[in-house]
Every structure is written in C-alpha cells, then in structure tokens.
Amino acid sequence: MHHFEYRNDTLFCEAVSVAAIAETVGTPFYLYSQATLERHFTQFDRAFDGIDHLVCYSAKANTNQAILTLFNRMGSGLDIVSGGELYRGLRAGFAPEKIVYSGVGKRIDEIDAALARGILMFNIESQQELELINARAGQLNTTAPVAIRVNPDVDPKTHPYISTGLKQNKFGIDIRTARDAYRAAQALDHVDVVGIDCHIGSQITDTQPFADALQSLKALVTALKDDGIVIKYIDMGGGLGITYQDEAPPALNTYAATISATLKKMPVKLILEPGRVIVGNAGVLVTRVLFIKPGPVKNFVIVDAGMNDLMRPTLYHAYHHVQPIIRKTAGKDEAFVADVVGPICESGDFLAQDRKMPPFEPGDLMALMSAGAYGFTMASNYCSRLKPAEVMVHGERFEVVSRRQDYETLVQNERVPAWMDA
Ligand code: LLP
C-alpha cells in the first residue's frame, strides 16, 4: 500500500499533485510520501508485537536525514555499515544504544568512532575483525559488545548480487565454524559476546529461507549455552521483498508469524534490519521526457534521468513500473512499446526495457515507481550529472529534503596540484 494515486488522471502523492512539485523543483527528483513511510514502519513494528524486539531500520536503503529523523522519532533503531552511516544516524538523533553495525570491511577509524559512541553491537564478519575490534576496545579502555554474523548457507532465491547467506558469499562466518569463533571471542578481554546475527539476502519473497536461517541460528544458540556463552540478541537482518511488478511477497504479519513461530519462547531479544520493505514503495523517481526516438527495432523514450540517478535497472535488471504523471490517453495506457533510456553514453543506461506504456511526448512527466529504496543512495555523478533533488510530501505539504546538487559542489573537493600552477 502506498499513497501515490491518480485524481482525475493526475498523479498525486498524498494530497499534492506531482506535476505541481515538478514545476517548482525541476526534474529529475525523488519523491517520498511520509504517510507511506509511517504506515510501513508502524505495520512492520506492530507485526512483532508480543515479542521482545527492536526494529533497526537499515540505513543503506535510504539515508536522507528527513527519513532517518522520522524513523528515529517513531522509535526505530538503526542498522549501519559505515562511518558515514554512523555519522548520519547520530546527526538524525539516533541513540547509539540502538545502533547495530554490520559489514565485512570496517576500518579502524570507523570502529573507533562506533566504540567511542557506545553502539548496541558490532556484527562481526571475520576472525581478524574480531581481533581488531578487541584490540581497539582495549586501546580505548572499553569493551565492545559483539554479535557474530553467521553464514547459515541458505538460498534466499533472489538476484545473485543480493544473495548474502550462501557459502560462496563473502559475508559472515560459516555456521559450522562459528562455535569456534564464539569460543575465541569469549576468551578475549575487551569484547562482550551479546548476540548472533545473519542477513541472508534482499528482495526475498518467500518465508522459508528466513525460517531455515533462524533454525540454524537457534541450534547454535543452544550449543553455545553448553559452552557457557549466553546470547541476548538474535539479529535476523533484513531482506523482506516488495512488489515491483508481480512479485507476491509474504504479508508482514505472515513474515513476523514465521519468525515468531520459529523463535518460540527463546529468551532473547529479536533485532530486525528492514530496509526495502519500509521505504521501497514509499518513493518514486520523477523525470521528464526529452525526446521520442523511433528506431528500426525499438522505440526509445529518452528522459532526463539516467542510470546514475537510478542504477537498479542496469545493475540487477530490476523492474520499476513506468507511469505517466498526467494520463492524457485514457484507454491507451499500453499502446506503445519502448525502452525508457537516459542521457548517458552507454547502452546500459536504461530505466525500463521493452515496456508497454502510454504514448509519451516530449515534455511529458513520468514516474519510475517503487524507487524509495536503493535509489538515491546508489546515485552517482557519472558523466558529471548532478545528483537529483529529494522531496518529501506530508498531507498537503511538500518540501525539498535534499536540494539538487549544483556544479560548484560537483567540483568543490577537486584541486589542481601546485606543480601545475603558474
Ligand atoms: N542488513 C544487512 C546486513 C544488509 O546487508 C542489508 C542489505 C539489509 C539489512 C537490508 O536489506 P533489505 O531489507 O533492504 O532487503 N542495492 C540492492 C540491495 C542491496 C541490499 C544490501 N544489503 C538493490 O537495489 O536491490
């Protein structure tokens, strides 16, 4: 469910006309619906009512300060994977005690920053990382709360780039050797073993992989108890999928019921790290048609957003639904077959391929739907294109929550070396 709907053939985001925003802000821009964000977060959190849990929104899906501030105020914790996300999270007001830090490649400065702030836990991904965090905690006269991210070798049946829980993936510590890693952790002076973690992949549309992963984690928790290691937190990561096209992911309540039923009455606190399922369908990318170019085998709709703005179609062959902002052609919505492409000098620069759509004309506005997750956060300056604006709607109001980049900031960090001067 989201709040992007037509009113008299004009697309509205909540009570605001998307065309009116485009007139003020220019194109391309990302547009987020606060009501949708709130609804998704609340539904996710409520689905776990009755079990001790903390939702740690996964920052990487969308790190805009407005979105982080909103979720922080709604009681969320935060899942981070870098010093940058730590900085953004703290700036948006998250309490360090609600921040979990995942990722296979944490740098010393990033570890030190998280230790200094006192985060909830580090999700450790390798033996060497464990030793480094122990050493840094010792240096800083503190103790690092840690969970070991285990790789349960479960097939999430999703795109290979976003599968993370198979044994050929770089993530986590193999579940068969994890017990040894825990014993090693327990023997260290400056770490406090508090949890166990996994994240098996993203855009998962079946509950079974989550149940299988949790079963493996539970078995390990029980074995660890025999070793005198008490696990307080089970972190199940994120990964629940959404509908982009015709996927049928489980309802939030079904997903939550699967996890609760598998967890049974284990005396642990459950941590969840949802990203996409909270923000994905709460955002769209709005772009303007520049040209229509019929070709010998394909038609092209050339728009002013490119792969630098929305990378998912070219990187994962991801589907984003194409919708006109103003429907001029009632009944002819699927009259035309075309690729939607951007201005970038690569054939991989497409936003949609072989898609039936209404017959667009130059100047028309178009929405790429379901772009709230991994849209802006994966945008780049390729071809010196400026990062798009981001806009948030709340009822009848809208505000730019990240202004369009300008040429000055594009080059502000660059320097001509001294030897080239004069
Ligand atoms: N926790 C960890 C440790 C993760 O690595 C991720 C996502 C999440 C949580 C959140 O997963 P979600 O609930 O959003 O599925 N750029 C790709 C998605 C990459 C996901 C990476 N990790 C895309 O556009 O589809």
Closest ligand 1 atom number to CA of residue 203: 15
Q: For Cα atoms 139, 140, 142, give the angle at the middle one, nearest 5 degrees.
A: 110
**Mean per-residue pLDDT of the chain:** 95
Q: Let me know whether 357 and 257 are in one domain.
A: no
Comparing CA positions, the residue from 180, 125, 120 lying closest to residue 148 is 125
* Residue 103 maps to a domain: yes
Q: What is the torsional sign of CA 133, 138, 142, 143?
A: positive
Q: Let me know whether 207 and 315 are in one domain.
A: no
Q: Let me know whether 392 and 248 are in one domain.
A: no
Q: Let me know whether 273 and 286 are in one domain.
A: no
pLDDT band at 158 (very low <50, low <70, confident <90, very high): confident
CA 143 / ligand 1 centre spacing (Å)? 28
Q: Let me know whether 208 and 293 are in one domain.
A: no
Q: Give 159's contacts (C-beta < 8 A, 6+ positions apart).
A: 203, 316, 318
* Residue 333 maps to a domain: yes
* Residue 42 maps to a domain: yes
Q: Let me know whether 255 and 296 are in one domain.
A: no
Task: Give me the pLDDT at residue 68, please.
Answer: 98
Task: Give me the pLDDT at residue 228, please.
Answer: 96
The answer on pLDDT for 213 being more than 70 is yes
Total number of domains constituting the chain: 2
Measured by CA distance, the residue closest to atom 9 of ligand 1 is 238
Q: Give 127's contacts (C-beta < 8 A, 6+ positions apart).
A: 173, 181, 184
Residue ending a domain, choose from 277, 306, 322: 277
Residue ending a domain, choose from 226, 242, 277: 277
CA 205 / ligand 1 centre spacing (Å)? 14
Torsion angle, alpha carbons of 34, 38, 40, 42, to 10: 180
Closest ligand 1 atom number to CA of residue 103: 3
> What separation, in Å, do the N-terminal and C-terminal C-alpha atoms of the chain show?
61
Contact (CB, 8 A) for 19 and 5: no
Q: Which residues line ligand 1 (CB under 6 A)?
A: 58, 60-61, 79, 102, 162, 199, 202-203, 237-240, 273-277, 312, 316, 373-374
- pTM score, two decimals? 0.97
Task: Give me the pLDDT at residue 413, please.
Answer: 97
CA 290 / ligand 1 centre spacing (Å)? 33
The residues assigned a catalytic role are 345
pLDDT band at 155 (very low <50, low <70, confident <90, very high): confident
* Residue 96 maps to a domain: yes
Q: Let me know whether 247 and 284 are in one domain.
A: no
The answer on pLDDT for 333 being more than 90 is no
Q: Give 223's contacts (C-beta < 8 A, 6+ positions apart).
A: 179
**Residue range(s) defining the domain that contains residue 107:** 34-277
Closest ligand 1 atom number to CA of residue 123: 3
* Residue 417 maps to a domain: no
Q: Let me know whether 45 and 176 are in one domain.
A: yes
Average pLDDT over residues 197-215: 96
pLDDT band at 161 (very low <50, low <70, confident <90, very high): confident
Q: Let me know whether 346 and 257 are in one domain.
A: no
* Residue 12 maps to a domain: yes
How would DSSP label each residue in 397-411? EEEEEEPPP-HHHHH
Distance CA 322, CA 290 (A): 16
Residue ending a domain, choose from 277, 307, 326: 277
pLDDT band at 331 (very low <50, low <70, confident <90, very high): low
Average pLDDT over residues 233-252: 97
pLDDT in tens, 64-117: 999 999 999 999 999 999 999 999 999 999 999 999 999 999 999 999 999 999
* Residue 220 maps to a domain: yes
pLDDT in tens, 280-294: 999 999 999 999 999
pLDDT in tens, 303-328: 999 999 999 999 999 999 999 999 98
Q: Let me know whether 72 and 159 are in one domain.
A: yes
CATH code at position 112: 3.20.20.10
CATH code at position 402: 2.40.37.10
Contact (CB, 8 A) for 271 and 361: no
Query: Which run of H or of E encompasses 219?
Result: helix 208-226
Q: Let me know whether 331 and 239 are in one domain.
A: no
Contact (CB, 8 A) for 127 and 173: yes
* Residue 177 maps to a domain: yes
Q: Let me know whether 201 and 66 are in one domain.
A: yes
CA 29 / ligand 1 centre spacing (Å)? 22
